[in-house]
Structure 1
Amino acid sequence: MLDNFKTHITKHFPYLLTSKVAIASSGGIDSMVLTYLCHQLQINIEVLHCNFQLRGAASNEDEIFLQQQTEMLKIPFYSVLFDTDDYAKKHKVSTQIAARELRYQWFKAQKEILSFEYLLTAHHADDNLETFLINFSRGTGIDGLTGIPEINDFIVRPLLPFSRDDIFQYALQQNIKWREDSSNAETKYLRNKFRHDLIPKLKEINPGILKSFENTKNHLKGASEILNNHIDILRLDVFNKRGDEVVVPISALEKLLPKETYLYYLFKDYGFKEPSDLVSITESQSGKQLFSDTHRLIKNRDEIIITPLIDNVNPSHFFINKEQASVVAPIKLSIDLVGRIKEEDQHTIYVDREKLKFPLKLRKWENGDYFYPFGMEGKKKLSKFFKDEKYSLISKENQWLLCDSENTIIWVVGKRADNRFKVTERTEKILKIHFIDA
């Protein structure tokens, strides 16, 4: 196996031979064999171990065993202790998901601390088949049937071409010691049910099932690449970037058949994976919204708008005192006393300073807001102004208002000033307010 492993590394991952590499190890047979193989190839490795405290004394014994083995091989060893059950309860996730989140968070942190370039995991061909069957049983798109990726960001899985039996035989031949995890024998976990019940039967029916699966996986991976290339080209054609927004004309989506399939692949990268919801929003009234973990999708008249979800860490109100010459909030305003009116445009207004009640306030619009638009008679509800100006829901949310201390609107910033603060013949102090549109 060593020769085959060396050939595989040299052909597909030659950079590992000259890089600083970490190995995620449980102390089980797979990660111990991976450690020995890399050690034999003189790869610069260190071992990372997570103690999840899920198996009582056995969890601590795993850690002690690994520490002894790495000391014997003169390999740096790092471990961490997790209260996995507590994390699962606090975050309302299963124990398996909690362990996964904890270990990958720690691996990313260790990458920065220890400055290794790649993290190796010991996933092998049988793991790949199990993942395929799990995804297949739950229902998935074509990407879910292409198996575990060999490379994902900084994580590399060099044992994927090798079977569980290959690994077991090598461990016996080389007298490699390992720890048995008793939970691997329990069939309460779905993966273990496939591992102990279904896959042995498949191997009995077809002893070459792993090879057959490898061929099928490669065909699916090729088909997935063709599909993804087509979707990328289509996105370039119909997804239009507008600042932080992505705007998609619904008319372009209506031409695509089968509609649900196209919508799934077009929007899944934004976290929207329910085709029926996507179809529904294209046929709904304006203002309908969908949320994923990372994005918001909004129906706005004859288009779909996608925006990233941003934590609202900034206050919604910003105050401006008399002495301030500028304010830098999510938008930037400059404020100057001037002798006369020069140029005036949407980005610049001139107001009578004596009519202003300080401190001024920058805020977002609220229901019931109204103002007296400059150049018009009477007042107008801001909601009506937005409608007349054909604002989208996103545009309404992003619009800033400059108000006085009594919440009276002075300026719909960048759009229209209020008539009540205009400069007249009786004005003694003219204040120029300029919006810098970054």
Structure 2
Amino acid sequence: MSLDLTQNIRRHGFKRLLLAVSGGLDSICLAHYFIENRDALGIEWLGIAHVHHGLREGTADRDAAFVEAFARKHNVPFFLKKLDGVELKNAEGSLEEKARDARYKALVEVFNETEDPRLRGDDNKDVIVTAHHAGDQAETMYMRLRRGTTLAGLRGIQPLRALDSIGHTCASRCGVTQQASLLIINHQSKFIYRPFLNVTRKELLAYARENNLTWCEDESNADVKFARNKVRHDLLPLLERECPGAKAQLCRIAELADRAYAKVIAKGEAVFDSILVKQDPSTPLRFAQDDTHTITLDKKKLNKILREHADADLSEMFRLWVAEQGFRFPIGFFYGPKEPAHVKIPHRAAYRKRSVAKIGHTIKICEFCTPEEAQKFVSCE
């Protein structure tokens, strides 16, 4: 891997890194790379975390022991987090998604437990690092394109993602379990960082051989009953045979969409930021719980903007801008062809845990702990 990768990592200025290491090829390469280059990268503290999902017998224990031995060999602090596999299997929803969310939550918990008081308050210096690579990006893009996606979805896996504090208070009150969203965190100074998104598996294999690295193979990664594994082993190889270079093109699309998205959001901020009403902490939102995440919009200012752009369709820009404020709604939620600028704000409506309500001269957009609370809020008179 080239010096360009080191320079790209250094520009972020991260000081405390927790490496998520499963024991597979990609994560072992990740761990070795950061350990070997920690001085060049300006790293002050480095740790390795392994999440044992409790879903595999025998080999999962082997993987945990392997990663621990690797960490000890390189004199790096090791942290093991064991999850309740039975709970994961019995909970509703996709096992892949539940395991992923539980894994991120476990990594956040490990990092919070190892926080260095000397660095507290030094924002944006803590980061959880994962080994997602170009193959993972291509798989994600293929899956999103197949099921349908938006401009935001076309960005694929993001190399750097902030962990938001939204949801922390709701989590404690609602008793969120292992499959809780990765939004649950104590503060906003931590990120998920994926520095290998432009590195191919072929390059990882070459790096491992060059440095005499060994790794573990997770047999569940070959089970094509899981959607991503089927894409990885069957569908993407078929596409690559039919259209050589397809995986690289999928990654390229993600890069282009990310640039376009940034421009759309910048324009959305210029258009809509003036409609945000600063919430007075002494006047809590009526009908909502104290820990509800809320933004308030000035209805009159919004209507003025829509009239000024009556010949344009601002619905998708508005939806993306609202999503950047922390509230995701489906395509078409704010679309009204008979409205000025094609943005329709429902009088009262709920979507999952989020709600929109016109109250007096304002528009309240709220995030609740449960869909029931969101529905109850919009049903109030």
Q: 1:86 Cα deviation (Å)?
A: 0.8
Are the aligned partners of 2:51 and 2:107 in contact in 1 as well (CA < 8 Å)? no
1:94 corresponds to: 94
Q: Which letter does structure 2 place at the counterpart of 1:246?
A: L
1:81 is aligned to 2:82 = yes
Are the aligned partners of 1:24 and 1:48 in contact in 2 as well (CA < 8 Å)? yes
Q: Which structure has the bigger radius of gyration?
A: 1
1:297 corresponds to: 356
1:60 corresponds to: 61
1:417 corresponds to: none
2:32 corresponds to: 36
- Aligned residue for 2:332, secondary structure, equals helix
1:11 corresponds to: 8
1:139 corresponds to: 148
1:246 corresponds to: 297
Q: 1:71 Cα deviation (Å)?
A: 1.8
Are the aligned partners of 2:68 and 2:78 in contact in 1 as well (CA < 8 Å)? yes
Cα distance change of structure 1 residues 253 and 163 upon mapping to structure 2, 3 Å threshold: same
- Aligned residue for 1:54, secondary structure, equals coil
Q: 1:310 Cα deviation (Å)?
A: 5.8
When the two structures are aligned, how many residues end up with a matched partner? 309
Mapping 1:29-428, distance limit 5 Å: 29-42=25-38, 44-87=45-88, 89-90=90-91, 92-115=92-115, 117-153=126-162, 154-241=191-278, 243=280, 245-249=296-300, 251=303, 252-253=305-306, 255=310, 257-258=312-313, 260-269=315-324, 270-279=326-335, 288-292=347-351, 295-299=354-358, 305-309=363-367
Whichever structure has more strand as a proportion of its residues is 1
Are the aligned partners of 2:265 and 2:317 in contact in 1 as well (CA < 8 Å)? no
Q: Which letter does structure 2 place at the counterpart of 1:274?
A: P
Are the aligned partners of 1:33 and 1:171 in contact in 2 as well (CA < 8 Å)? yes
Are the aligned partners of 2:141 and 2:250 in contact in 1 as well (CA < 8 Å)? no
Cα distance change of structure 1 residues 218 and 102 upon mapping to structure 2, 3 Å threshold: closer
CA distance in 1, matches of 2:232, 2:65: 28
Taking only the aligned residue pairs, the percentage that are identical comes to 23
- Aligned residue for 2:28, secondary structure, equals helix
1:24 is aligned to 2:61 = no
Q: 1:205 Cα deviation (Å)?
A: 4.2
Are the aligned partners of 2:358 and 2:364 in contact in 1 as well (CA < 8 Å)? no
Task: Name structure 2 gaps, 5 residues minimum.
Answer: 40-44, 117-125, 163-190, 281-294, 371-376
Are the aligned partners of 1:85 and 1:95 in contact in 2 as well (CA < 8 Å)? no
Please, what is the CA RMSD of the aligned residues? Answer: 3.3
Task: Name structure 1 gaps, 5 residues minimum.
Answer: 313-392, 398-438
> Per chain length, whose mean CA-contact separation is higher, i.e. which structure has more relative contact order (CA < 8 Å, sep 6+)?
2
Residue deviations 1:56-106, cap 9 Å, x none? 11111111111222222222111011113314535x232222212222222
Q: Which letter does structure 2 place at the counterpart of 1:247?
A: D
